[in-house]
Amino acid sequence: SIELFGNIAAAGFALYGEVPNVAPWLRFVTEKARVVTQALGPDGVSAEGICYGGFFNDTYVKTLDFVDRLMGVDLFEGNDYLQNIPWFYLFSVLPRKRMTHDNSVLCLGDGHTGHWYGPASYLHKIAARYRNRLAQGIVKNHRAVGASTKLSSLYSLLWFDESIPARLPRDLPLARHFTDKDIVAM
C-alpha cells in the first residue's frame, strides 16, 4: 500500500548515514517512485478520486521530494500528472459560496465531499516547483473556507512560496474532458 511505501521511504531516508545497509531501501524507494511516476496518467486525475487520491498525492509528493533532495533523482521534471492535478481540483471543487470545511469537492466513487489529506501541502509543492499560480489559487480558495486539512500544515510551511501569486482563471470552458480516466467535469 502507499502508506507502507511512505513509511519505508521516511524511515530509510531518516536512517541513511546512521545505520548500515540502508542503501538498498533507498534504491527500492527510488525505483518504485520511478515506476509509479511512469504509470500515472497525464491528466492529473487519481483513479481513486479526491479522498483516496489525496492520500496518494500527499504521500507521492513527499516521496518525490525525498528522492529529489536526498538521492538527486528528479521525478518532478516532466511530470504531467503533477502539473495537471490543479486542473482536476479546479473542475472538482464546489462553487466558493457553497464550500465548507467538510463539503468542498464533488464526490467521485466511494469518496467524500471533503478532503482527507491536503490539498494545501502538495498543491503548495506543485505551485513552487512549477511556478503554478492555479495551484496556489486553489489553496487560497480552500483555506478561505477552512477546507484544507490540518495535516497539510507542516508541509505547507516547508513548501509555500509566497513569490507565486494565487490566480484562478476568470474564464473557464463549461466542461473539461480528463482523457486518461475518461471523466468529464462540467
Give tens-digit pLDDT for 102-149: 878 877 766 677 777 778 899 999 999 999 999 999 999 888 888 876
Q: 43 Cβ partners below 8 Å, 6+ apart?
A: 80, 81, 84, 87, 88, 178, 179, 180, 181
Count the neighbouring beta carbons within 10 Å of the beta carbon of residue 70: 16
Query: CA of 12: how far to CAs of 3, 69, 132, 135, in Å?
Result: 14, 14, 31, 30
First and final CA of the chain: distance in angstroms? 32
Q: How many CB atoms lie within 10 A of CB 17?
A: 10
Q: Is the dihedral of CA 155, 113, 107, 186 positive or negative?
A: negative
The pTM of this model reads 0.88
